[in-house]
Amino acid sequence: MIAPLVLGIETSCDETGAGLVRGHELLADAVASSVAEHARFGGVVPEVASRAHLEAMVPAVQRALATAGARLADIDAIAVTAGPGLAGALLVGVCAAKAYGLALGKPVYGVNHLAAHVAVDQLEHGPLPAPVIALLVSGGHSSLLLVERLTTGVVALGATVDDAAGEAYDKVARVLGLPFPGGPPIDAAARTGDPGAVSFPRAKYRDGTLDFSFSGLKTAVARWIEAREAAGLPVPVADVAASFQEAVADVLTRKAVDACRSHGVDHLVIGGGVAANSRLRALAAQRCGAAGIRLRVPRPGLCTDNGAMVAALGAELAADGAAPSGPAFRADSGMPVTSIVAG
Residues at the interface with ligand KG4 (CB under 6 A): 13, 138-140, 166, 169-170, 181-184, 187, 272-274, 276-277, 304-305
Q: How far is the CB of 254 from ligand KG4 (least distance, A)?
A: 17
**Residue 19 near which of ligand KG4, Zn ion, none (CB within 5-8 Å, type-dependent):** none
Binding-site size for Zn ion (CB under 5 A) equals: 2
Q: How far is the CB of 107 from Zn ion (least distance, A)?
A: 24
Smaller CB separation from ligand KG4, 5 or 86: 86
φ, ψ of residue 19 in degrees (nearest 5): -125, 155
- In the complex, the smallest distance separating the C-beta of residue 124 from ligand KG4, rounded to whole angstroms, is 16
From Zn ion, ligand KG4, none, which one binds at residue 166 (CB under 5 to 8 Å depending on kind)?
ligand KG4
Alpha-carbon distances, residue 274 vs 70, 135, 137, 184 (angstroms): 32, 10, 5, 9
Give the angle 217-89-335 at the CA atoms, nearest 5°. 65
Q: Are strands 132-137 and 108-112 parallel, antiparallel or unpaired?
A: unpaired
Least separation, in Å, of the C-beta of 3 and ligand KG4? 26
Q: Which residues pair with 110 in a beta bridge?
A: 80
Q: Which is nearer to ligand KG4, 217 or 265 (CB)?
A: 217
CB of 41 to Zn ion, least distance (A): 19
C-beta closer to ligand KG4: residue 139 or 193: 139
Q: Could you tell me if 96 and 80 are in contact, meaning their C-beta atoms sit under 8 angstroms apart?
A: yes
Contact (CB, 8 A) for 298 and 120: yes
Q: How far apart are CA 254 and CA 210, in angstroms?
A: 10
- Residue 107 binds what, of Zn ion, ligand KG4, none (CB under 5 to 8 Å, by partner type)? none
Residues comprising the chain, all counted: 343
CB of 79 to Zn ion, least distance (A): 15
Amino acid at residue number 313: L
Cα–Cα distance measured from residue 211 to residue 193, given in angstroms and rounded to the nearest whole number: 28
**314 interacts with, out of ligand KG4, Zn ion, none, CB within 5 to 8 A per kind:** none
**295-324: which residues touch Zn ion (CB under 5 A)?**
305
- CB-wise, 242 or 318, nearer to ligand KG4? 242
Give the residue with the Cβ less far from Zn ion, 50 or 138: 138
Q: How far is the CB of 89 from ligand KG4 (least distance, A)?
A: 11
Integer CA distances (angstroms), 180 to 12, 175, 280, 285, 299, in order: 18, 11, 19, 27, 21
3-state SS assignment for residue 277: coil
Residues 120-149 that bind Zn ion (CB under 5 A): 138
What strand order describes the sheet that includes 77-83?
25-33, 15-22, 5-10, 77-83, 108-112
Judged by beta carbon, residue 106 or residue 218, the one nearer ligand KG4 is 218
Helices (H), 176-306: 183-190, 215-230, 237-262, 278-291, 300-303
Where helices occur in the chain by DSSP H, the ranges are 35-38, 46-68, 87-104, 113-119, 121-125, 165-175, 183-190, 215-230, 237-262, 278-291, 300-303, 307-319
Minimum Å gap between C-beta 236 and ligand KG4 is: 19
Q: Which residue is nearest to Zn ion (CB)?
A: 138
**Which one of ligand KG4, Zn ion, none is in contact with 183 (Cβ closer than 5 to 8 A by kind)?**
ligand KG4
271 binds, among Zn ion, ligand KG4, none (CB under 5 to 8 A by kind): none
Choice between 65 and 303, CB closer to Zn ion: 303
The residue ranges that bind Zn ion (CB under 5 A) are 138, 305
